[in-house]
Amino acid sequence: MANKRVLAFDFGASSGRAILGTFDGKTISLQEIHRFSNDPVSLNGTLYWDILRLYHEIKQGLIKAKLAGGFDCVGIDTWGVDFGLFDEEGRLLENPIHYRDARTEGIMEELFKVIPKEEIYENTGIQFIALNTINQLFSLSKNRPELLKRAHKLLLVPDMMVYFLTGAEHSEYTMASTTQLMNPNTGDWAYSLFDRLGIPKDIFCDIVDAGTCAGNLKDDLCKELGIPSVPVYYVAGHDTGSAVVSVPAEGDDFVYISSGTWSLMGTECEKPVINEKSLQNNFTNEGGYGRNVRLLKNIMGLWLIQESRRQWQREGFEVSFADLEREALACKPFQCFVDPDYEAFNTPGDMPGKIRDYCRMTGQYVPESRGEVMRCIYESLALKYRMTFKALEDLTGHPYPCLHIVGGGTKDGLLSQFASNACGVEVITGPIEATAIGNISVQLMAMGEIANLKEARKIIASSFEQKKYQPKDVDAWNEAAKRFAEIIKR
Ligand code: LFR
């Protein structure tokens, strides 16, 4: 069999990459063709995605992939929830706005005045978090209704990129589910919510499954770049959906963290879990590949570290992530904790300052040095993982023997070790390029090269390195967990 060469574009909140996956019938191997930073732009008080620059990077990736020997097909995944609005002629009405923009601050209280929280959860199964598309659109309907009136079409970011490349106008299932406007039981838009929120129904596209062919690369684009017109597939357009495809678990029952800017921690289910307990714990039921369900929680993740590092850079200190890890390790354990999901940490800014404020406010030791701040972040993240792990066990009714961590965050060995210590179970890390590998695997399944998800996971497990961590200092972590639970209630 001739090797298949599959091109994956994977856009994270802080960087993007084009990765060429080669499949020889047994093993997938990766070649990074292009990597670029993703730099949101703040202008006149609004935080935008630099979307045309990102599209430009896709073009660069296509050219480089051709020069590297060519490719048979293309797929795109990105972060969730954000979208572009288009006019009748297919022009973007404005630059897509970043989910961290302030337009959704306080919006959920307004939302619940119109539709009770319980009703929204029952109809969508999605956690309440300000960044959700439902909140962004509700804010537009309240504050900029004229923009929504002018909109002819709404395309979520990966679907928008597919549209740029092929002209196809669909909404891919895994991405649609992140809006909090899709009903996981019907697999269609939760139309009963739309009118009451002033969100127009007709701007939404029909929902298609990951693995659907969107069409071929447009002729004018191929001519411009000198590339062949190969098919573009809708993959699990939501990066977390792609990442979880590549969890190299053997059985059906496992807990994972997709670790990057966010830590997305959960398990995979056949049916959504929508009940009082899941609502109380604010668990989400995101759509997965093959219409399975990712029962998970968003934990703030490496954002806390990335933002802290940006602040230290602004202050003139050039420190690598490895330096920061070393500095953290040299500090005294368990001095102070933060709730990683504290609202003020959500927005860009002086993260070490915000962490110190939090510690002051909760009557704890205030971390001074970089190492102390970092130690506080690492331990707090691990303890939040533990809390979520236990809540998942409680929700699904059975214990989990290990935790898989995939994604860029697994490069950070200290966090993986702390996760094992805090959860008291073995942690298996890898693959690092989980999202791109999931993207590539869905394309290979769409082409009929890999039979199904189970088969894909086997191939991934044997193609990419995994590392194991055993729990250490479990008693000390158990004690710390009690203090952590007290502190984050304050
Ligand atoms: C991870 C992620 C999360 C989503 C957040 C915002 O990159 O896609 O799953 O909740 O970003 O879109």
Condensed to tens digits (0 to 9), the pLDDT of residues 112-142 reads 999 999 999 999 999 999 999 999 999 999 9
Q: What is the pLDDT of residue 239?
A: 98
Residue 1 has pLDDT above 80, yes or no: no
Query: Could you report the predicted ipTM of this complex, rounded to two decimals?
Result: 0.98
Q: What is the pLDDT of residue 200?
A: 97
Q: Is 79 in the pocket of ligand 1 (CB under 6 A)?
A: yes
Q: Is 240 in the pocket of ligand 1 (CB under 6 A)?
A: yes
409-421 per-residue burial string, b: 16 or more CB within 10 A, e: under 16: bbebebbbbbbbb
Q: Is 136 in the pocket of ligand 1 (CB under 6 A)?
A: no
Catalytic positions, written as ranges? 239
Q: Which residues share a beta bridge with 37? A: 15
CB count in 10 Å sphere of residue 295? 24
Q: Is 239 in the pocket of ligand 1 (CB under 6 A)?
A: yes
Taking only the tens place, the pLDDT of each residue in 237-282 is 999 999 999 999 988 889 999 999 999 999 999 999 999 999 999 9
pLDDT averaged over every residue in the chain: 97
State mean pLDDT over 135-159. 98
**Degrees, nearest 5: CA angle 13-77-38:** 25
Q: Which atom of ligand 1 is nearest to the CA of 240?
A: 9
Give start and end residues of each alpha helix (H) in 397-433.
Answer: 413-423
Query: Ligand 1 centre and the CA of 449: distance in Å?
Result: 29
Which domains does the chain possess? 4-233 (3.30.420.40), 247-430+451-490 (3.30.420.40)
Helices 157-166 and 51-67, packing angle to 10 deg: 60
Q: What is the pLDDT of residue 490?
A: 86
Under a CB-based contact definition with an 8 Å cutoff, are residues 149 and 117 in contact?
A: no
Taking only the tens place, the pLDDT of each residue in 375-425 is 999 999 999 999 999 999 999 998 999 999 999 999 989 999 999 999 999
The best mutation among 10, 17, 78, 81 to test binding of ligand 1, ranked by most ligand atoms within 8 Å of the C-beta, falls on: 81
H/E element, 18: strand 15-23
The best mutation among 11, 17, 98, 262 to test binding of ligand 1, ranked by most ligand atoms within 8 Å of the C-beta, falls on: 262
State mean pLDDT over 452-469. 97
Q: What is the pLDDT of residue 252?
A: 85
Q: Is 11 in the pocket of ligand 1 (CB under 6 A)?
A: no
Q: Is 131 in the pocket of ligand 1 (CB under 6 A)?
A: yes
Query: Ligand 1 centre and the CA of 24: distance in Å?
Result: 32
Taking only the tens place, the pLDDT of each residue in 101-115 is 999 999 999 999 999
In percent, the amount of the chain with pLDDT more than 70 equals 100
Q: Which atom of ligand 1 is nearest to the CA of 264?
A: 9
Q: What is the pLDDT of residue 251?
A: 86
**Coil, strand, or helix at residue 374?**
helix
For ligand 1, atom 12, the nearest C-alpha belongs to 80
Q: What is the pLDDT of residue 104?
A: 96
For ligand 1, atom 8, the nearest C-alpha belongs to 79
Nearby residues of 305 by Cβ (< 8 Å), 6 or more positions away: 321, 324, 374, 377
For ligand 1, atom 4, the nearest C-alpha belongs to 80
Q: Which residues share a beta bridge with 97? A: 48
For ligand 1, atom 2, the nearest C-alpha belongs to 79
Taking only the tens place, the pLDDT of each residue in 298-355 is 999 999 999 999 999 999 999 999 999 999 999 999 999 999 999 999 999 999 999 9
Taking only the tens place, the pLDDT of each residue in 4-59 is 999 999 999 999 999 999 999 999 999 999 999 999 999 999 999 999 999 999 99
Q: Is 392 in the pocket of ligand 1 (CB under 6 A)?
A: no
Q: Which atom of ligand 1 is nearest to the CA of 82?
A: 12
